[in-house]
Structure 1
């Protein structure tokens, strides 16, 4: 029995609904039970054996004290504290040999000094702080990575491929090729980029774009990999293999982002040397003043600066997570620091400030050619170009019912034009200078505001022009105003289009400085000559890839666009939303502010506690407990980077 695609969808949809109902009746065993909670705690202790061992030793020491065996309790507590101190000292030596100066010396000295003066309970608290610091850092980092991990966890591994007879075969997603038909059931993630074959359906694209509302797609429309199919089974025809689909590119960028380390973290490490010297100075002066080595230990106990090491990474991961939640992938955590300091913003025009979908206004043909012939020849040649103007020309020809014919010997000179042999004619399509360089009789086309001209020559003779117009994005003026409010006074356009067109668009969005008729190498040169740095560059096309790589912060608009631009950029905006370029700057500024606030909060509270401890007013055990509170406050402050302030400003 042969089913049509729509009939097959109805059968699969009913089957999927039955499967979902069956699964909904099967609750996972032990959810919320005491046994499950105990198992969760046991798993944490197995993951952090030093924390578990310290807790066991602490309980044993308290038991010995309760059993009136103080000497044995002191031996057990002191022995374990010295073992951990030796382990930390080994890590410290390896770090110093590797050129990394940290604050472990303070921790080792605090443990050994408290043991030496008999304050072994305080030593155990310091040990618990050090061993528990890794667990606390993991928790905070995992909280911050939540949105980044969500993309990785959603990546599908299997696809339901349809055979010629309509049978469904589950295959690894890597085996799907362009042209294959794939079934996507309700609540499943679309495995590859494709176009919808069956009737309209709703898709949740929030993990890709940050847009919470579902998007309705109809037959023939593109569906992005990584979208979540909502309520009905659908059939897609793959337009790309899994490794070439948008979701795979995003996952790769997220993995790169999650593994990066920001410069500000190294900056925090550099605070370690003066902080350590200050702590030893205060502790030494307190010992000299009081004549009591116990005060020396009490000062060092409160000087153990775990927040100095943890706060910055947590804040930067939080900022990256918040950006990903808004549809902005920041590939490298160090980019956040650059975003915070941006002083100049440069933009490509077509597809970035404008919608990138120029409309054909008129065809001006020269005798003996007609308008239809000029447009048809130009569109046939433009089949071999990836430029947005080429797409618009092809669509205009198809809308007028013109047939595009294959061309031979076609080649493109980036940003200049295309040369191809169509129906035995040599057709050149592109900018005026390019066409004039290889043909005769070229006449410059007069243009109105916002218009541009594509010149066409046939067999070495000028054949006519295609007059087109592209419009500025609705959010472009507000984006420029927001960047100005953020203190980025220098804003400019770097474009390959002619000056009148670029100047018109610049004036419409509030930009006064333009560089027109730029080749890719011109854009790179101009980028490097800009004096107010760091420089933010926003673009979207293949020809923007070099300048995005040359910028201090390259931002690619729309991961649906050029793969080359996305790979060259430091930041990828997953939607066609220019305002998110300004949002990325705001997130960078807030993240850096929160990171530095957290570092100085940890330093400031530790200094205050050191000065109080130097008076002898804080017993070592209470000093150790107070330092735990400082750690917690600092990390909680760093987690503020996960959310924005009222106005998204620091």
Structure 2
């Protein structure tokens, strides 16, 4: 009963229109045709008066719509005695909103799913180790609370996994369809769904500060947006209205029958224009959300469809954003693995990002890390420690040079940083570290150019040599390096070919993301400031999603205009038929309802990718599939050997 009551509250005027029609039919059955005519006509004219008032309010706000056609059609059909046709027009306009709501509900499915799945309660473990839990509202969960999450439940807050291991469904957050394995101590995102076993979670944030709540806030903002919907209809409204009145007037003048005027305007009612664009835009935003791309408002989709310039931050966007061990260069008589193992043993005592990269690089090579003792760290310079009886110094060149002499002056590749190593007073070698380009960066830039984006830039605060080296490797010619945040803003503001899309991920990117026509924040786990400043938030750490956002914007706009064109084309064809006097007003009114349905179904095509988008995605995915096949073949050969 509740869904029926909610439907009745939302669409009460449509139900009232049906009731008036039933009363009119009853009066006809009771042989009261005049009473039926007056009842239906009065109701229709009352509706026309209300729509006229809304039209005048819109005109005062500087907006011109197409309701004038519907109002004129209602009045003219009443005047010529086709009062049943006037009621069908009223029904069409009221039920058209219901059809739009139904179609939009289908189109919003991915957006709504994120909101509907938001957990309301959490199972907090009672301190003491008894294993008992108490259910509390999610808002009461605080950092360091230990929570039990049952199978199939949504993680209510961000936290660290305390169970040995678990698989999580993160598809609603990242678009990744396969379960993701995590082990004890690893961070897990709120909004993930647990697998077949219960897990224990230690909260690292409150619900308000957790990842899922940030996404919900973004989705809520997206659902409230209706920016470009009316504008699309307004662009067609004036010419469509003029054409409609011209055909209707000509039909009346040539035939001498006023009924022709009414019959033409009946099939010129504007519902296709009013319905098609909102449904297409909501479908596009829903499809974007399905792929882990939250578009905050409909106006952004329209801007994405026209992007002519794209600018990218370097670190963390075009590159991985974390240093990795690239090479080990050693002095004569030293073995690379031995030097690396000693350095990694010392660097375990440091929390510097380069130290973490060295330790990770040694473990990736399968090295056993020795234990370091008596470590002394000079912040931002280096560490000295004793390892297996050897005095080992690891750090910057000037720090290591203060302990040994004869550090060779060897060239360093662009984009690389050097960490030097000395053992027992002698120079042992250096470790080269680099922030590597993402594996999909070059293909992403090529795919973006294929969409029609003419200018692609890199904006970075890094050194020019490093930036130029990376730019040339990924196909970006226009590289601007050594920039401060304000410099980036100034450059984006001065770019001539607009709209401009800026893609970044860090706190320092927030100003330029806000300054761009479309700001895209990469990675749900990135900076909150960047996410709040951006118009598009990519939940998955996947650079190609920025291209997909552009493709979805273009597909959405194309489908919206196609749906509008379909509605206008069918309406004009029906107007020409009606002008010949072979389409009675009542039949024309019902035929126009079919035009509405056709436009809605066409607009829903925005939920599906176009052929060009599918072809572009196949080109990006093919190299990854080939690499996976090659790895499988190599593994098979090893097994056979």
- C-alpha distance in 2 between matches for 1:402 and 1:506: 40
- C-alpha distance in 1 between matches for 2:464 and 2:253: 75
Q: 1:527 aligns with which of 478, 489, 492?
A: 492
Q: 2:247 aligns with which of 279, 282, 286?
A: 282
What residue in structure 1 maps to residue 554 of structure 2? Answer: 589
What residue in structure 1 maps to residue 620 of structure 2? Answer: none
Matching of residue 573 in structure 1 with residue 538 in structure 2 = yes
Deviates more, 1:193-202 or 1:89-98: 89-98
Note if contact 2:65-2:233 (Cα within 8 Å) is conserved in structure 1. no
1:130–1:343 CA distance, 2 compared to 1 (3 A): same
Q: 2:479 aligns with which of 505, 514, 528?
A: 514
Q: 1:315 aligns with which of 260, 276, 280?
A: 280
Q: Quote the offset at 1:206 in angstroms.
A: 0.7
- C-alpha distance in 2 between matches for 1:107 and 1:404: 86
Note if contact 2:232-2:277 (Cα within 8 Å) is conserved in structure 1. no
Give unmatched runs, 5+ long, in structure 2. Answer: 331-338, 364-368, 385-394, 399-406, 422-428, 616-641
- TM-score, normalised to structure 2, is 0.81
Note if contact 1:335-1:570 (Cα within 8 Å) is conserved in structure 2. yes
Note if contact 1:262-1:316 (Cα within 8 Å) is conserved in structure 2. no
Q: Give the CA RMSD over aligned residues.
A: 3.6
Q: Quote the offset at 1:175 in angstroms.
A: 2.0
Matching of residue 201 in structure 1 with residue 156 in structure 2 = no
1:72–1:505 CA distance, 2 compared to 1 (3 A): same
What residue in structure 2 maps to residue 75 of structure 1? Answer: 38
Q: Quote the offset at 1:391 in angstroms.
A: 6.7
Note if contact 1:379-1:404 (Cα within 8 Å) is conserved in structure 2. no
Q: 1:249 aligns with which of 214, 237, 258?
A: 214
Q: 2:445 aligns with which of 466, 480, 484?
A: 480
What residue in structure 1 maps to residue 579 of structure 2? Answer: 614
What residue in structure 2 maps to residue 25 of structure 1? Answer: none
Q: 2:314 aligns with which of 334, 345, 349?
A: 349
- C-alpha distance in 1 between matches for 2:55 and 2:249: 22
- C-alpha distance in 1 between matches for 2:243 and 2:218: 41
Q: 2:84 aligns with which of 118, 121, 140?
A: 121
Residues 321-470 of structure 1 aligned to structure 2 (within 5 Å)? 321-360=286-325, 392=357, 446-452=411-417, 467-470=432-435
What residue in structure 2 maps to residue 231 of structure 1? Answer: 196
- TM-score, normalised to structure 1, is 0.80
Q: Quote the offset at 1:253 in angstroms.
A: 0.8
What residue in structure 1 maps to residue 154 of structure 2? Answer: 189
What residue in structure 2 maps to residue 26 of structure 1? Answer: none
1:333–1:465 CA distance, 2 compared to 1 (3 A): farther
What residue in structure 2 maps to residue 142 of structure 1? Answer: 105
1:243–1:200 CA distance, 2 compared to 1 (3 A): same
1:263–1:403 CA distance, 2 compared to 1 (3 A): farther
**Per the alignment, in what secondary structure is the counterpart of residue 618 of structure 1?**
coil
Matching of residue 163 in structure 1 with residue 131 in structure 2 = no
- C-alpha distance in 1 between matches for 2:438 and 2:315: 10
- C-alpha distance in 1 between matches for 2:376 and 2:557: 54
Q: Quote the offset at 1:362 in angstroms.
A: 7.5
Q: Aligned residue pairs: how many?
A: 576
What residue in structure 1 maps to residue 57 of structure 2? Answer: 94
Deviates more, 1:92-101 or 1:230-239: 92-101
Q: Quote the offset at 1:40 in angstroms.
A: 5.1
What residue in structure 1 maps to residue 96 of structure 2? Answer: 133
**Per the alignment, in what secondary structure is the counterpart of residue 580 of structure 2?**
coil
1:628–1:377 CA distance, 2 compared to 1 (3 A): same
- C-alpha distance in 1 between matches for 2:315 and 2:372: 26
- C-alpha distance in 1 between matches for 2:484 and 2:355: 17
What residue in structure 2 maps to residue 55 of structure 1? Answer: 18
- C-alpha distance in 2 between matches for 1:474 and 1:353: 9
Note if contact 1:160-1:184 (Cα within 8 Å) is conserved in structure 2. yes
